[in-house]
Amino acid sequence: MITMKQYKKAAAYLQKHGGQADIAIVLGSGLGGYEESLVDAKYVDYADIPDFPVSTVPGHAGRFAFGSLNGRRVMLMAGRFHSYEGYSLDEVTMAVRVMHLLGVKTLILTNAAGGVNETFHPGDLMLITDYLNLTGRNPLRGPNLEQFGPRFPDMSQAFNEKLREVALAQAERLQIPLQSGVYCWFNGPTYETPAEIRMARTLGADAVGMSTVPETIVAHHCGMKVLGISAITNMAAGMTGGAISHEEVMQTGKQVKESFTKLMDAIVAALP
């Protein structure tokens, strides 16, 4: 288990080399490069942070970026951690707790996801309204860290309603199509089977992926407001009859980068 001393040590290093922030954004697979939008950016590699994990997945740069975006102080996480890489859920969510120690109040989580909703298409952006956790795992299991939050945090509004209203309003203003739906977390690293996708659809999922839910839970535990956006980079198993590959995910992520960038810029500028 990661200790409070380790969290504070990592936060102190980031504050020294990057600074504090009000807003944090986690970039999913294929969405890297958005950190270049920051003004007066400072970069900190994960490998240089004491006791910090290192991202191993292609498409994840493995660094923090600190800077200004539309007049707001922002820290960007270019590359996240997943339990399928061999990390514990403490390690997967360590960055979120460190963000909290750096003053972050609003967390925007993005990801690449497989479309389960039959009306979705690769290249769509989806505003996450809620999540399904089908992994049987929870990052808050074990001794509670009272310094971050309560033993039993409420999850009735996992993704903040007011932030979702901001995202929808900006998407409409920019005429960027923005779907809405439920995100379902699977462990990975295998893509889901057609039977698992049929199950997820029956349970109410609109998209599936291998991240985001642990960070959402820990962010709520810390008292942050969370906004989630998925890039639908492929249709899930059994939807089209074709095979799924990480290369396809990365390629589609690049195709949606322009609309993603415009929407993200507008959301950050409009945040209360």
The whole model's pTM is what?
0.94
What's the confidence (pLDDT) of residue 237?
Answer: 72
pLDDT for 245 equals 72
Alpha-carbon gap, residue 168 to 176, rounded angstroms: 9
User: Domains (ranges, CATH) in the chain?
Assistant: 4-270 (3.40.50.1580)
Do you find a cis peptide bond into 153, omega within 30 degrees of 0? no
Please state, in angstroms and rounded to a whole number, the distance separating the CA atoms of residues 264 and 170. Answer: 9
Tokens 């589609």 — which residue? 252
- pLDDT for 181: 98
Q: What is the mean pLDDT of each run of 10 residues along the chain (272 residues)?
A: 95 95 90 84 95 76 90 92 94 98 97 94 95 97 95 96 98 97 96 94 97 98 97 80 69 78 94 86
3-state secondary structure of 13: helix
Dist CA 214 CA 138 (whole Å): 7
Output the CA–CA distances (angstroms, integers) from residue 253 to 97, 123, 159, 192, in the order listed: 27, 7, 22, 19
Known catalytic residues are 29, 60, 82, 84-85, 112, 210-211, 234, 246
> Which are the contacts of 7, defined by CB distance < 8 A and separation ≥ 6?
94, 97, 98, 101
